[in-house]
Amino acid sequence: QVQLVESGGGSVQAGGSLRLSCAVSGTTYVSYCMGWFRQAPGKEREGVATIDKYGKARYADSMNGRFTISQDNAKNTLYLQMTSLKPEDTGVYYCAADWTLGTGSCPLIQARFRYWGQGTQVTVSS
């Protein structure tokens, strides 16, 4: 059974950095798409960044180059490096994965992803 487990969340002051990790277990096959989504308090979950198995990344416009998604296929682990964090980045960050083949970059659409982690809390204080 495929499981995704996020780690690396925590509390940080505005301007700080955090690196989130997402470990995939239950399979040795590298997913075609992986991504990070987040849900701020009182808001709907939104896409942050996605990456395909070939390393092609896609970001939400609001990230403005502050976040970097990457993956280690040998470890079957996804990362999100977050810098210049702002209070509005506060929320629960979810890792997602899907093994369905596709074309082009992976979209920032929740329906594209079948498997989800439980989420890790990121809190940015001003």
Picking from 81, 46, 79, the residue whose alpha carbon sits closest to that of residue 67 is 81
How many of the other CB atoms lie within 10 Å of CB of 114? 13
For the chain, 126 residues long, the average pLDDT of each consecutive 10-residue run is 95 98 89 95 96 94 91 94 97 95 87 96 97
